Amino acid sequence: MKPITLRPTEPEQDFGQLAAWFSMLEDDALSEQGLKEYYERRREIIIQRIAENEEGELLGFYWVCFNNAESCNIDLFVKSEQRRQGFGKRLYEDLEQSVKTAQAKEINVTIIDTSSESRIFAEQRGFSERWHFIPMRLNLETFDDRPYDDIIAKLKRDGFRFTSMEELGDTEEAQHHLYTLNDETNLDVPGRNGERIWSSFDDFQKRVCQMDWYKPDGQKVVIDTATGDWVAMSAISRFQNHAYNLHTGVDRRYRGRKLAQAVKVTALRYARDVLKVNTVHTDHNTINQPIIAIDHKFGYIEMPGTFVMKKVLV
């Protein structure tokens, strides 16, 4: 293998190229300034290295973002014309050593399902398939939300209050209710297999409520006024030039009343009327057919899928 140097990226020097590579990997435009701002907000939980040859040509990079002390997500990229020369192997070996030094136990990587080369590379390094996701995209300019007015009106007459974290003051008490509803409905997502996303309420506050993408008015919730129970939610926020519907869930005791459709419509209206975006993205595990059916009904179209692959370090 030709000699290469792995070094930390320098935002002013390297982030233009890095943003172009991320845009290619994620099939979504990312600006140099956007990447700089993202990195500055999260640099304490990110490890990254860029590879260059003796001539100073940039060959590829890796990027590690820690979810918590135990788990991280990674990106690894080598320019197509520089592949099959051992550069990816060298980058991955350094990446894994960095993760082990940080004492994390699990590495996750997302791979587009049309890239057999990337999947083989991951499998050769001990990764196995965890989930298969379908990204979906909705054009808000053609989305007709009028048919849902009657559904929402009926649910309100039945005693359900449609509100948001903003309207509720985004208090710690409200955040605790939001955490409980998020936690319970996420556990019910097909394929979750009992795995919790957050270890505690404090973890939820840190990784959700205190993040820059968290918008209290984009956290739509439904409350049963007869009991005070929080029964449905749909969370949405803006990322670059589109909105992303992070999670929609309904308490299992209240399913079958079209609450998922109703609360999701309020989130989509917020994206269109307040965030002023034209498209909304989301993604679903392929076995989560109920929510996929709802999104098809709304007019979402499916995009190329992705595999989430996992490696447990020993």
Q: Please report, as a single letter, which amino acid is at residue 271.
A: A
* pLDDT value, residue 1: 62
- Fold assignment, 4-104: Aminopeptidase (3.40.630)
Residue written as token pair 């269109």: 272
Question: Can you tell me the distance from the alpha carbon of 264 to that of 305, in angstroms, rounded to the nearest whole number?
Answer: 22
How confident is residue 195, by pLDDT bands cut at 50, 70 and 90?
Answer: confident
Instruction: Spell out the residues 6+ positions from residue 174 whose beta carbon is closer than 8 angstroms to its own.
Output: 165, 168
Q: In this predicted model, what pLDDT tens digit does every residue of 97-155 receive, in sequence order?
A: 999 999 999 999 999 988 999 999 999 999 999 889 999 999 999 999 999 999 999 99
Instruction: Spell out the residues 6+ positions from residue 135 whose beta carbon is closer than 8 angstroms to its own.
Output: 281, 282, 283, 302, 303, 304, 305, 306
Half-sphere exposure of 122 (CA within 13 A, CB side): 26
User: What CATH number does domain 136-305 carry, 3.40.630.30, 3.10.290.10, 3.10.20.30, 3.40.50.1110?
Assistant: 3.40.630.30
The pTM of the full predicted model, rounded to 2 decimals, is: 0.73
Residue ranges of domains in the chain: 4-104, 136-305
* 8 A C-beta contact, residue 307 and residue 113: yes
Q: In this predicted model, what pLDDT tens digit does every residue of 244-292 receive, in sequence order?
A: 999 999 999 999 999 999 999 999 999 999 999 999 999 999 988 888 9
- CA-based nearest residue to 270, from 140, 152, 178, 147: 140
Note whether 4-104 and 136-305 share their fold. yes
Q: What is the mean pLDDT of the segment spanning 52-66?
A: 95
Q: What is the mean pLDDT of the segment spanning 164-178?
A: 98
3-state helix, strand, coil in the chain (%, to 5): 40, 30, 30
- What is the C-alpha end-to-end distance of the chain, expressed in Å? 28
How confident is residue 223, by pLDDT bands cut at 50, 70 and 90?
Answer: very high
Does residue 193 register a pLDDT over 80? no
Residue 222: both structure tokens together: 């439904």
